[in-house]
């Protein structure tokens, strides 16, 4: 085999090797650029605006804050108003970065995310640590489940927020 005939064979071999490698997940982006929170629905749900002007409803992954208002069959829950007010103080008109897990949306078409303040602090973790939310993980979105469980245990022990 001469050198000229070896080149196509080598290129074919490379193509086969690279096509057999790991596949990219359907949603490969894990973090967004900074987005602005323009509305807070309650302690675990808010709306953001992207730099492009696109608006999106975000549901924080791994946590559940008590209901702050009566909607459908759901009643206002203990510490719901406090959790909602705290989330508003923490998020409203602030810039956050969103991190996604395995699933990008839930069955209600809300975008699922971990949110980070400009300081780098994770909003989901802050809400649990301060007692404004409790752990609520739904596989496959369980990336920070052990962290949230540890923070909830600390909040309960310290009788913070809804654990008073």
Catalytic residue, from 59, 99, 129, 152: name it: 59
Residue-wise pLDDT tens digits, 50-94: 999 999 999 999 999 998 777 777 776 778 899 999 999 999 999
Out of 77, 110, 154, 160, which one is annotated catalytic?
110
Give the list of residues 6+ apart from residue 29 with CB closer than 8 angstroms, or none: 100
Class of domain 28-163 as given by CATH:
mainly beta
Residue 59 known to be catalytic: yes
Question: Among the options 31, 55, 56, 67, which is catalytic?
Answer: 67
For 80, which DSSP code?
A: H
| Listed residue (111, 120, 99) closest to 32, CA to CA | 99
Band (22; pLDDT cuts 50, 70, 90): very low
Q: Is 129 a catalytic residue?
A: no
pTM of the model: 0.79
Q: Domain residues of the chain, as ranges?
A: 28-163
Q: How far apart are the first and last CA of the chain?
A: 80
67 is catalytic: yes
Token pair recorded at residue 146: 């052990």
> What string of DSSP letters covers 12-69?
HHHHHHHHTSPPPPSS---B---EEEEEEEETTEEEEE-TTS-EEEEEETTEEPPP-S
């Amino acid at each position: 085999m001469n050198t000229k005939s070896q080149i196509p064979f080598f290129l074919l071999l490379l193509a086969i090797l690279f096509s057999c490698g790991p596949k990219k997940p359907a949603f490969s982006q894990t973090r967004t650029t900074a987005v602005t929170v323009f509305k807070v629905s309650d302690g675990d749900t808010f709306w953001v605006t992207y730099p492009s002007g696109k608006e999106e409803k975000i549901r924080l992954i791994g946590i559940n804050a008590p209901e702050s208002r009566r909607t459908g069959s759901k009643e206002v829950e203990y510490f719901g108003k406090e959790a909602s007010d705290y989330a508003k103080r923490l998020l409203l008109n602030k810039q956050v970065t969103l991190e996604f897990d395995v699933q990008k949306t839930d069955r209600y078409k809300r975008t699922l995310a971990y949110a980070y303040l400009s300081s780098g602090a994770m909003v989901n973790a802050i809400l649990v640590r301060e007692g404004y939310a409790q752990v609520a993980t739904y596989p496959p979105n369980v990336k920070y489940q052990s962290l949230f469980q540890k923070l909830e245990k600390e909040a309960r022990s310290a009788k913070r927020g809804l654990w008073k």
